[in-house]
Amino acid sequence: MKTKQILGLLLIALITLSLVGCQEQPKVYKVGILQLIDQLKAVEDNFKNKMTELKYTEGQNVVYVYRNAKGNAGDAERLAQELVNEKVDIIVSITTPTSIAAKKVTEGTSTPVVFLLVSDPVRAGLVESLTQPGGRVTGIVDGMTEAAGKRLELLQKIKPDMKKVLSVYSDTESLLPAEENLRQAATQLGLTLVERQVKSTDEARAAFQSIQPGEVDAIFIPADGLITETMDAITALAVRDKLPYIIGGNPGSVLAAYGPDIPSIGSQGAVLVDKILRGTAPSSLPVELAKKFNLTIDLGVAKQIGITVPDNVLSIADTVVEAK
């Protein structure tokens, strides 16, 4: 082979290697997940499963950075700042307190935020409106505010003779409209609310423990992570006085739950995250309503409490968990 041919082949080989080296490597996205309580881990799991369906493979083109406030909303801002310091490409915040914190610490940055399980994002200051969020934040509303009256109506079906209903709720500004809707529903249904407003899980637990026998006939549990963190105290009161209760969503084994299918909100949020990572501005993505609502009755819990759930309630339940 002549020298010129050899040189030519070497030149082609060098150019080929150079072109291969210059090919753009797949971007690895860093997704921050800001959680409030362990009971909502199913939301994280469904989010990640849907991301996998959307071709995001952990360790290859996506890395997840987790922070969990473990029920202490006061830690949310510090944890959100840690995610910003980690230079995540986007923050997925689960519940209202974590979402407020995520928005606050990302002010002045380009980091988008997708919130999940928020009742009133406008009142919480997360978005300008549901149809035109503006800024870097959008997400999924849980529909709990609107469903408060429906849950009280279902609770009355479980115990038709109830008169006084306990409602322990937090002072979180964006969750107050749900309590207002509950009051209106109570008036329409001829019920009396026994209300206790609290600022922490410790206060909530103490509120349930302070209820005297015969003081209330049933318990209404709001869609509030601060309150659901005290299910031990709620269950103890329900068993002691044979009180039915209803909760929003279904975080674990509970008597009655009506609300959005909470795990599926994770999947719904993943679709929004995918759009943003592909270049769509959050400001152009309207806030979405949770797509699926369920009524779940657990007969095992009913047996534990010592009550019977009427057949007309069981017949309309989406899921009935049989007693073991």
Do 251 and 273 lie in a common domain?
A: no
| Residue 8 forms part of a structural domain | no
| Residue 129 forms part of a structural domain | yes
Do 33 and 167 lie in a common domain?
A: no
State the first-to-last Cα distance of the chain, in angstroms, to the nearest integer. 84
pTM for this model (two decimals):
0.69
Please tell me the distance from the alpha carbon of residue 75 to that of residue 70, in angstroms, as a whole number: 9
| Residue 5 forms part of a structural domain | no
Please tell me the distance from the alpha carbon of residue 238 to that of residue 158, in angstroms, as a whole number: 14
25-29, 46-50, 86-90, 294-298: least confident range: 25-29
Average pLDDT over residues 6-34: 67
Do 224 and 210 lie in a common domain?
A: yes
**How do residues 53-96 score in pLDDT, each as one tens digit?**
999 999 999 999 999 999 888 999 999 999 999 999 999 999 99
Do 135 and 267 lie in a common domain?
A: yes
CATH number at residue 203: 3.40.50.2300
pLDDT score recorded for residue 8: 56
Do 76 and 111 lie in a common domain?
A: yes
Do 171 and 275 lie in a common domain?
A: no
In this structure, the number of other CB atoms found within 10 A of the CB of residue 320 comes to 14
**CB 36 within 8 Å of CB 76:** yes
| Residue 16 forms part of a structural domain | no
| Residue 21 forms part of a structural domain | no
Do 68 and 204 lie in a common domain?
A: no
Average pLDDT over residues 277-296: 94
| Residue 1 forms part of a structural domain | no
| Residue 23 forms part of a structural domain | no
Do 131 and 104 lie in a common domain?
A: yes
For residue 20, pLDDT over 50 is answered with: no
Do 200 and 63 lie in a common domain?
A: no
Q: Which domain holds residue 230?
A: 144-260+294-321
- Main-chain dihedrals φ then ψ at residue 136, nearest 5 degrees: -110, 10
Average pLDDT over residues 31-53: 95
8-17, 95-104, 139-148: least confident range: 8-17
> Locate tokens 């997840």: which residue?
64
- Counting the structural domains of the chain, the total is 2
| Residue 3 forms part of a structural domain | no
Do 281 and 169 lie in a common domain?
A: no
**How do residues 146-158 score in pLDDT, each as one tens digit?**
888 999 999 999 9
Please tell me the distance from the alpha carbon of residue 171 to that of residue 153, in angstroms, as a whole number: 24
Do 157 and 223 lie in a common domain?
A: yes
Do 152 and 172 lie in a common domain?
A: yes
